[in-house]
């Protein structure tokens, strides 16, 4: 105890003043706590809360960003898939259309060729018939002239008798 008393004395501690200052300090502290610290603490608390909210929001935004990126990738992947599917379908439809049109064209061409052959055959037959008729007419004209001159009254009578017999039958 003696040592402590000596120590305080060597440092020049005056106990009544020390106690008075301590009381003053406590009073000041209480006043500050009552009127100043509370608002400062509340401001700091509010700031801390905002920082925490900001951090939470940042985390949330980051999470949303990741989800958005995932959705974006999924959408892009689906779009690519759909586009590929549409292109494949278009290719298939184009090939089917091309095949169908080609078949139509071949069929039309075959029809045209067949019709042309038919027309050619008909024209050929028509020409042959015309030539035959012309020749027949020529032969008949010549025959008529010859026969008309060669018919005798006996021939005429015989032919008339034939007709009369047919009439009487």
Partner 1 sequence: MKLSREARRIARQLFASSMVQGRLDQSRSLMIADTIIAMRPRHAFEIIKEFTRLTRLYLNMHQAVIESALPLDSTIQAEIAASLQRHDDQVNISILVNPSLLGGTRIRLGSNVWDGSVAAKLQSLKNN
162 counts as binding partner 1 under rule CB under 8 A: yes
Count of residues making up the chain: 169
164 counts as binding partner 1 under rule CB under 8 A: yes
Query: Token digits for 118?
Result: 């038919």
The 8 Å CB, 24+ separation contacts for 43-52 are none
Residue-wise burial string across 121-140, b where 16 or more C-beta atoms lie within 10 A, e elsewhere: eeeeeeeeeeeeeeeeeeee
Distance, first Cα to last Cα, the chain:
187
Shortest reach from residue 125's CB to partner 1, in Å: 18
Shortest reach from residue 126's CB to partner 1, in Å: 18
Contact set for partner 1, span 79-138 (CB under 8 A): 136-137
Between residues 2 and 154, which has the closer beta carbon with respect to partner 1? Answer: 154
151 counts as binding partner 1 under rule CB under 8 A: yes
CA 45 – CA 53 distance, rounded (Å): 12
144 counts as binding partner 1 under rule CB under 8 A: yes
43 counts as binding partner 1 under rule CB under 8 A: no
Q: Taking the mean position of all CA atoms in its chain, how far away is CA 24?
A: 85
Shortest reach from residue 107's CB to partner 1, in Å: 42
140 counts as binding partner 1 under rule CB under 8 A: yes
Which of 1, 3, 4, 166 lies at the binding interface for partner 1 (CB under 8 A)?
166
155 counts as binding partner 1 under rule CB under 8 A: yes
Which helix H or strand E contains 78, and what residues bound it? helix 38-150
* Chain residues that interact with partner 1, rule: CB under 8 A: 136-137, 140, 143-144, 147-148, 151, 153, 155-157, 159-164, 166-168
């Amino acid at each position: 105890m003696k040592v402590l008393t000596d120590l305080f004395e060597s440092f020049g501690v005056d106990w009544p003043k020390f106690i008075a200052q301590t009381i003053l300090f406590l009073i000041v502290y209480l006043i500050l706590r009552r009127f100043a610290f509370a608002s400062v603490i509340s401001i700091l608390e509010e700031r801390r809360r905002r920082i925490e909210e900001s951090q939470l929001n940042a985390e949330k935004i980051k999470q949303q960003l990741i989800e958005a990126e995932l959705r974006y990738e999924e959408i892009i992947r689906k779009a690519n898939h759909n586009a590929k599917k549409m292109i494949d379908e278009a290719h298939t439809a184009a090939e089917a259309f091309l095949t169908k049109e080609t078949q139509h064209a071949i069929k039309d061409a075959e029809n045209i060729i067949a019709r042309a052959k038919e027309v050619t055959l008909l024209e050929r037959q028509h020409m042959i018939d015309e030539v035959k008729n012309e020749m027949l007419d020529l032969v008949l004209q010549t025959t008529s002239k010859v026969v008309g001159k060669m018919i005798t009254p006996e021939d005429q009578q015989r032919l008339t008798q034939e007709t009369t017999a047919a009439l009487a039958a």
